Structure formats: C-alpha cells, structure tokens
Amino acid sequence: MKWHKNLSHKQEDLLSVYRVQSATPEVVNAYFEVLLKTYNDLGVSQSYRVWNVDETGVMTIPKPKKVIGEVGKPARSLVPLERGELSTVITLVNAAGDVMPPFVIHKGLHVQKNWLRGKPEGWVVHASTNAYINKEIFVQVGEKFLHGLGYLNTLHVLLMDNHFSHLFNYCFLKTMADYNVHVIGIPAHTSHILQPLDNLPF
C-alpha cells in the first residue's frame, strides 16, 4: 500500500443477498421522500426532535487482539470466564447528539445482583432467556424514552428498523402515539445504509 495512498487494509463486512437486492436506489429514494414529507407535514425542523433507536450484540468476553510482548513468552489477558456470552445493548440517540442511557439485556431468567454492581446511573439492566430484545422489554424501552423526554407530549420522530419486537408491537406503538412520538420504520434489509446507529456507533 506504500505506493497507493488511496488504498488501505480494512476488515470487510459480510453483506447478504437480501440486503443487496433490497437497498435499491428506488427504495432508498422513496424512504427519504416519506421522511421529508413527514418532517414537512409535522413541522419538524429541530434536530433534537429526530431520534433513532437500535440494538447491538456484544460479547461479555472480548476477542483477543494483537499486542506487543517479549519473544518466547505468551501474552495473556485476565477474563472472568472461559467463554463469553452474548448480551444486547439498546440505545436512543437524536440528530443533535443527545443520548439516552442504554438498556442492557443479559441471558437469564432473572436479573442477578452482580449485574448491577458498578452500573452507571440511568442504565437499565434486564434479563431474557436468550439475551435478545422482545416485545415486553421494548415497551419498557419506550417508557424509559418517554421518561427521558419528561412525558411532555411534545412532537418527536422516532426512526427504527422493522424487527418484529419493534414494528409489530401494538403496545409500544400506541404508547408512542399517545405521547405524540411519530414512528417511522426503515425499509426491510436496508438498515446497513439507512439506520443512523448502524453507520456510526454500531
């Protein structure tokens, strides 16, 4: 790469056929037309009124990484377990850069006391049988979001993907509507380019 300054080594992302076929210019343009029309119809002009909610999976044990060490001696890092488990982190961010405290979901039937040790203020810890988001937890995410807004019933727009626990969740959608939060679903299999949190933090 020494002689080609426009090239670099990078980690490739695996992209499914569904995403390639779904994220067409027509679909993307139609989405932004809906988005712009919604903003205009509602009179949304302030960036702090536009939010995105998303979740990502994290491992409790980090992947090994390259380090510098003495020749002939192993390099080791202390970890609490032999094998890591998946946890889910859910957060909400608005276009002005404000961030709501996240939800963290660990695998288990009940929240364990040691999960709460050292928990930052405002963070919420949950348990689910597979550490994934579900409809019930997502309703609580919505309630926590409204709490962060102060339950003021002021106009906001919430962008989210079409995961079943999000879009097919009557209780969540009704709660948002009751407090003047307008939900817009991102087209299926396009979150890799249209979901703000997918393209920066996650």
HEC states along 155-193?
CEEEEECCCHHHHCCHHHHHHHHHCCEEEEECCCCCHHH
Inside any domain, residue 72: no
The CATH number given to whatever domain includes residue 133 is 3.30.420.10
Is pLDDT above 70 for 184?
A: yes
Inside any domain, residue 60: no
Q: What is the pLDDT of residue 16?
A: 86
Q: What is the pLDDT of residue 13?
A: 77
> Tens digit of pLDDT for each residue in 61-110?
877 788 888 888 888 887 767 777 889 999 999 999 999 999 999 999 99
Inside any domain, residue 184: yes
pTM of the model: 0.83
Q: What is the pLDDT of residue 65?
A: 80
Tokens matching residue 4: 């080609």
Inside any domain, residue 75: no
CA 84 to chain centre: 21
Averaged over 139-167, what is the pLDDT?
Answer: 91
109-125 burial by CB neighbour count: b if 16+ within 10 A, else e?
A: eeeeeebeeeeeeeebe
| Number of domains, the chain | 1
Inside any domain, residue 34: yes
Q: Is 28 exposed, middle or buried (0-12, 13-18, 19+ CB in 10 A)?
A: middle
> Tens digit of pLDDT for each residue in 101-144?
999 999 999 999 999 999 999 999 999 999 999 999 999 999 99
Inside any domain, residue 68: no
Q: What is the pLDDT of residue 1?
A: 62
Length of the chain: 202
Range of the domain at 109: 23-55+83-199
Is pLDDT above 90 for 48?
A: yes
Q: What is the pLDDT of residue 64?
A: 78
Inside any domain, residue 11: no
Whole-angstrom CA distances from 125 to 40, 78, 176 are: 37, 24, 22
List residues bridging with 184 in a β-sheet.
159
Is pLDDT above 80 for 182?
A: yes
Averaged over 139-155, what is the pLDDT?
Answer: 91
Closest CA to 19 of 199, 194, 192: 192
Cβ-contact 162, 74 below 8 angstroms: no
* Structure-model confidence comparison of residues 81 and 169, the more confident one: 169
